[in-house]
Amino acid sequence: MSLIAPALPFKAVAPARIISGSFQCQRRNISQSSRPNLNRPSIKAQTQKQHAPRIRLFHATTPSQAVANPYTTLGVSKNASASEIKKAYYGLAKKYHPDTNKDAGAKDKFAAAQSAYEILSDESKKKAFDSYGSAAFDANGGFNPGAGAGGAGGDPFGGGFGGFGGFGGGGFQGGFSQDINMEDLFSAFGGGGRRGRGRGNPFEEEIVVGENIEVQTSISFMDAAKGVTKEIYITPMVECKTCTGSGLKKGAKKAECKSCSGSGQRVTSMGGFHMRVTCSSCGGSGMAVPRGSSCGTCGGDGAVKERRTVTVDIPGGVEDGMRLRVTNEGDAPLTGQASGSNVRGTKGDLYVLIRVASDPKFKRAGSDILHTATIPLTTAVLGGEIKVPTLDGEVMVKVPTGSGTGDRVTLSGMGMKVLSSRRNAKGDLKVEFKVNMPKYLSQNQRTILEMLADEMGDKTAKRMIVNKMRDDGEKPSATSDDHTNEGFLKSAWHNLTGQHKETPQGEPKNGEEKKKKSSGSG
């Protein structure tokens, strides 16, 4: 940017030092020579009289006002990519450009966006701000690479300016203070990162990155355990085959931008000063696509949409909600919209969101899986062996005697694969028992359980069958001498199972018959 005072005379002497602040140059009273024969002032007084009225008030930013945070100004995060920063800057520049927005604060917001983009579009300035913050820059937004380290700045006569000799005919004899780097100061207001033609590097490569794509796919629980290959259908932006990404018709070339005459910058007035800003038509490159030269297939974007199928290998052990990244399968960049002629495009990435369906047999907890096995009451009390499903088929699992609901048995290494393991490690399968308690009992089942309660000394258990038998006065059969002395419970059990029946009359007992045979009678 060039700072030009409204009524600056053609010949001017540069001030010895520009101070960051508002000041008024003081005038000194110059006395006339005491010699009567001299009617004109001395040469020194003549020079001071000639130039003192021509010095104008110079307004600059107050030293205490720090450079605004460029990330906040553009509304991007500190980790934003170059394309995101560029997109945010173009949006603000278009919104607050003084030629289209006549609001009172539009000029200030436009200038703030220019300064912010100047910092973030230049790698060295962006790195300096990330390291030292506003201390790396002077109060006017110019880059001061030595500020963060306590340096004095740069050479005001270096770089593209090469000194100010010949400016206005007289030159800047005293020069400026080393505290202000004039080239960086001007480029900061001029939209810096992308300089106009003749000042930038024609061999500098511009890298444009495409957008990322995110899709979702669903898999079964067993697919998540074993791994599966899925075909994902997407419609990404791909390079236009007609123009090979240039955005131009065959034989057409970018021409000099008519808005800025190829300089990459335009002059605008702000606060009484004229300053140069980046041309919004060409983005500062100085080159633009002539009317009618855009590719008819892609409309000048350099990329078109195309339906594609991507094969994705989903590893075993993935969990619900995980994202898989497939590099270079995202959108191709819109290289036709790039400002420079030397452009290299890089595709974005494809992110696949995994949704794992639930399974009726298993539940998952990290790399471990849980199966609930229902066992009969008798198996829980007596112990036994049951079949349990696993990820690789059914296995036999022993049930310890006296198992209850909630008790677990762990089968090591029969769970899910551990994704972070290099040794193909697996989690565990935990089998939890649930005792199936019967709600309805037959008469025999209840009798047996009541007898078991008596046998175990359980006085709190409810009795129905045994008490009824006692109330009815049922007695065990006394026809046999062998059962005369049986207890009540044992006799009830024998009657229940029919083990002891009455011996028919006239039929000898087994014991008596054996005695007769042994004695040799009959």
CA–CA dist 261, 239 (Å, integer): 30
Q: Is the pLDDT of residue 118 over 80?
A: yes
User: 260 versus 274: which is more confidently predicted?
Assistant: 260
pLDDT for res 380 = 93
| 1-28 confidence digits (pLDDT tens) | 333 334 444 444 444 333 344 444 444 4
Q: How many other CB atoms are found less than 10 A from the CB of residue 267?
A: 14
Domains of the chain: which residue ranges? Answer: 213-254+289-356, 363-436, 450-517
pLDDT for res 192 = 40
What band does 400 get if pLDDT is binned at 50, 70 and 90? Answer: very high
The model's pTM is 0.50
> C-alpha 484: how far from its chain's center?
87
What band does 126 get if pLDDT is binned at 50, 70 and 90? Answer: confident
32 by DSSP, 3-state: which? coil
What band does 196 get if pLDDT is binned at 50, 70 and 90? Answer: very low
Write phi, then psi, for 129 (nearest 5 degrees): -70, -40
Same fold flag, 213-254+289-356 and 363-436: yes
C-beta of residue 347 within 8 angstroms of C-beta of residue 333 = yes
CA–CA dist 245, 210 (Å, integer): 12
**Which one of 8-22, 113-127, 314-328, 329-343 scores highest in mean pLDDT?**
314-328
C-beta of residue 277 within 8 angstroms of C-beta of residue 189 = yes
| 37-53 confidence digits (pLDDT tens) | 444 444 444 444 444 44
Mean pLDDT score of the chain? 73
C-beta of residue 480 within 8 angstroms of C-beta of residue 504 = no
* Least confident interval from 45-54, 379-388, 437-446: 45-54
DSSP code, position 118: H
Q: Is the pLDDT of residue 177 over 50?
A: no
Q: Is the pLDDT of residue 522 over 60?
A: no
SS percent in the chain: helix, strand, coil, step 5: 25, 20, 55
User: 474 versus 277: which is more confidently predicted?
Assistant: 277
pLDDT for res 433 = 96
Buried-exposed string 330-344: b where 16+ CB fall within 10 A, e elsewhere: bbbbbbbebbbeebe
Quickly list DSSP for 141-203. Answer: S-B-TTTTTT-----TT-TTT---TTGGGT--SS---TT--HHHHHHHHTTTTSPPTTTS-TT
Q: Is the pLDDT of residue 112 over 50?
A: yes
Which class is 213-254+289-356 in CATH?
mainly beta
C-beta of residue 352 within 8 angstroms of C-beta of residue 233 = no
CA–CA dist 386, 375 (Å, integer): 8
What band does 128 get if pLDDT is binned at 50, 70 and 90? Answer: confident
Q: Spell out the alpha helix ranges (H) of 314-405.
A: 377-382
Q: What is the arithmetic mean of pLDDT over 432-458?
A: 89
pLDDT for res 513 = 53
CA–CA dist 355, 313 (Å, integer): 15
At 259, list the tokens: 């808005």
What band does 470 get if pLDDT is binned at 50, 70 and 90? Answer: low
In the chain, what is the greatest distance between 2 CA atoms, to the nearest angstrom? Answer: 190
Q: What is the arithmetic mean of pLDDT over 259-283?
A: 78
Q: Which of 361, 317, 354 is nearest to 225 (CA)?
A: 317
Q: Is the pLDDT of residue 441 over 70?
A: yes
pLDDT for res 423 = 81
With a pLDDT cut of 90, the percent of the chain lying above it is 30
**Which one of 97-111, 218-232, 327-341 scores highest in mean pLDDT?**
218-232
Strand segments, DSSP code E, in 205-295 are: 206-209, 213-219, 228-234, 237-239, 255-256, 265-270, 273-278, 287-288
Query: 93 vs 87, 193, 272, CA distance in Å?
Result: 10, 15, 21
Angle at CA of residue 464, ends 458 and 466, nearest 5°: 75
User: 458 versus 370: which is more confidently predicted?
Assistant: 370
In one-letter notation, the amino acid at residue 278 is: T
Q: What is the arithmetic mean of pLDDT over 227-256?
A: 91
At 249, list the tokens: 């018709």
CA–CA dist 180, 153 (Å, integer): 7
| 33-92 confidence digits (pLDDT tens) | 444 444 444 444 444 444 444 444 444 444 445 678 888 889 888 888 888 898 888 888
Quickly list DSSP for 449-494. Answer: HHHHHHHTT-SSS--SHHHHHHHTT-----SSGGGTT--HHHHHHH
442 by DSSP, 3-state: which? coil
Helix pair angle (106-120, 182-189), 10° resolution: 120
Q: What is the arithmetic mean of pLDDT over 281-303?
A: 85
What band does 496 get if pLDDT is binned at 50, 70 and 90? Answer: low
CA–CA dist 68, 159 (Å, integer): 26
Query: 412 vs 236, 403, 408, CA distance in Å?
Result: 45, 20, 12
User: 481 versus 194: which is more confidently predicted?
Assistant: 481
Give the CATH fold of the 363-436 domain. HSP40/DNAj peptide-binding domain (2.60.260)
pLDDT for res 166 = 40
Q: What is the arithmetic mean of pLDDT over 186-193?
A: 41
What band does 431 get if pLDDT is binned at 50, 70 and 90? Answer: very high
With a pLDDT cut of 70, the percent of the chain lying above it is 61
Q: What is the arithmetic mean of pLDDT over 143-160?
A: 42
What band does 93 get if pLDDT is binned at 50, 70 and 90? Answer: confident
Write phi, then psi, for 197 (nearest 5 degrees): -65, 140
Query: 431 vs 7, 240, 409, CA distance in Å?
Result: 91, 57, 5
pLDDT for res 502 = 52
What band does 456 get if pLDDT is binned at 50, 70 and 90? Answer: confident
pLDDT for res 428 = 96
pLDDT for res 467 = 65
User: 284 versus 508: which is more confidently predicted?
Assistant: 284
